[in-house]
Amino acid sequence: MTKLNTLILGIIVVLLTTAGALPKDNTKRLKKEAEFFFQIGDYDLAEPLFRKLVRIYPKKAEYKFKTGVSLLHIRNKEKEALEFLTGAMAKDYDESFFYGAQAYHLHLRFEEAIDCLDIYQGKKNHVMDDDVIEVLREKILYTRELMSNPISEKPVLMNRAINTKSQEYAPLINRDGTILYFTSRRPGSTGGLMDGNGDFYEDIFSSHLVGDRWSKAKPLRPPVNTSGHDANVSFSANGNTLILYRTESDLRAGNLLYAIKTQNGWSDPVEYGENINSSGTHEPSACLSFDESYMLLVSNREGTIGGKDLFIVRKLPNGEWSKPQNLGDVVNSTKDEESPFLSADGNRLYFSSNGHNSIGGFDIFYSERDAEGNWMKPINIGYPINTVNDDIYFTTTQDGSRGYFSSSREGNMDIYYIDMLFEDNDLVVVKGYVKDILSKKTLSAYVALEEQDDLDNMSASFTNN
């Protein structure tokens, strides 16, 4: 063996024996930083630090446990948690069994998830209360039940004209089902800026149905899209008002705005007043009733039952909006409600929640009005629309023949559709134009539909822009 070979071998031996090792002071700092981020719930920063600690101390169950818990809280990495949590469970680390049950649930391994909960509940010093354990147990059992009784065919992932490798969500379909609006975080956003997770800022896109195919989606032009975050929220029934969410310059807070459709495109968005955009609170989504007489608003303002609740805001005779009123504890859970959508007749409310009997993160639910006009207990829309992942932003065409929603079942949020579940055979969508009889130019007009035998009974009205 030459001196050079001996030197190289010596270097390799040193590298192998010191791999993963850090000076004592550096290791101490690493532990401190990892624990700090874990305790404040910043799992994106905690997870890579605990991974390093696992490599340095491969027999230490605590570091495997905290790596697994961190992964459960990170988008697109949730399923990686099981490897680390099973390692902690092998060392009989008490709290790992509770989170291990969650990880097995994500992998649809329900028997093993229940076994974990049984072991955990038998631990004398388990941290989680028994009622919290039972909530997770019921969730696992209910997931298995729903998946054993699917309600429909599998939802269809929309093609590359709509979905990309980035996130797409919050689909909105116009009244006749020919234009799809949605929010995307793909490259080429209006401002070209990215957040700390490597996602581009939100922009609103639209795609047109040409024949039986959707055109390649394009971003809406300014002033709708800006260099900040811009996300579509809801349409008015006539398609002439677009509600959107826009962050403020500090990117920490945001407000709901509305834009009006004109013959030249969308107007400059205008912020709603203080009864809708409350200072120091978060209002991420809303929807308008068919006649625009009220709005259902999501907010975490004072008076919530859970984190974010559904509120009703009514339009006053002077055109202003009333103060919000909580929709109550039948619809609102002790957790978060999101993305409301009303059927055309106003008698069915779709929304997403990570409370109630959700089988994943956010599930899609619906509630119907009783004879007195009160909202009844929400019903889980079922599998395979809902999964153990996030399923949210459900909307339909006006006749209810096709539903659109967003799901993270394949990783990033994508847009899906599903047919013929919600059709209302009594509803007819009429499309047309009001034109000048001489010039044939399209006019702005107010149109009212009335009962033929009862002209005082207005069925519907809308403005054509």
The residue extents of the domains of the chain are: 20-148, 156-419, 432-465
Q: Quick one: pLDDT at residue 14?
A: 40
- The strand pairing partners of 295, in sequence order, are 288, 313
Q: What is the pLDDT of residue 13?
A: 37
The tokens for 196 are: 């700390």
* Per-residue confidence (pLDDT) for residue 11, from 0 to 100: 41
**Closest C-alpha among 364, 413, 422, 346 to residue 170:** 413
Six-digit token string for 205: 């896109």
Single-letter amino acid, residue 340: P
Please give the span between the terminal C-alpha atoms of the chain, in angstroms, as a whole number: 87
d(C-alpha 403, C-alpha 182), whole Å: 14
For residues 159 and 165, is the Cβ–Cβ distance under 8 A?
no
Q: Is 265 left (phi over 0), alpha (psi -120 to 50) or beta?
A: left
Outline where DSSP puts E strands in 128-177. 156-157, 168-173
Residue 384: is the preceding peptide bond cis (ω within 30°)? Answer: yes
pLDDT in tens, 303-321: 999 999 999 999 999 999 9
Q: Tens digit of pLDDT for each residue in 233-275?
A: 999 988 899 999 998 877 777 899 999 998 888 999 999 999 9
Q: How far is CA 180 from CA 130, 214, 235, 239, in A?
A: 46, 9, 11, 11
Q: Among the residues of 260-337, which ranges form H helices?
A: none
Q: How far apart are CA 67 and CA 45, in angstroms?
A: 11
Q: What is the pLDDT of residue 15?
A: 38
Q: CA angle 28-31-32, nearest 5°?
A: 85
In Å, the largest CA–CA distance within the chain is 107
Instruction: List the beta bridge partners of residue 181.
Output: 172, 206
Q: At what angle do helices 81-90 and 96-106 cross, to 10 degrees?
A: 140
Fold for the domain defined by 20-148? 1.25.40
Backbone angles phi, psi at 101, to 5 degrees: -60, -40
Q: 82: part of which helix (H) or strand (E)?
A: helix 81-90
- The pTM score is 0.86
- pLDDT at 106 (0 to 100): 97
What pLDDT is recorded for position 431? 65
Which residues of the chain fall below pLDDT 70? 1-24, 420-431, 445-465
Whole-number CA gyration radius for the chain: 26
For the record, the structure tokens of 349 come out as 């409310």
Determine the Cα angle at 27 with ends 21 and 29, to 5°.
155
For residue 360 the two structure tokens come to 């994943």
Q: Which residue has the tokens 């038998």?
A: 122
The CATH number of the structural domain formed by 156-419 is 2.120.10.30
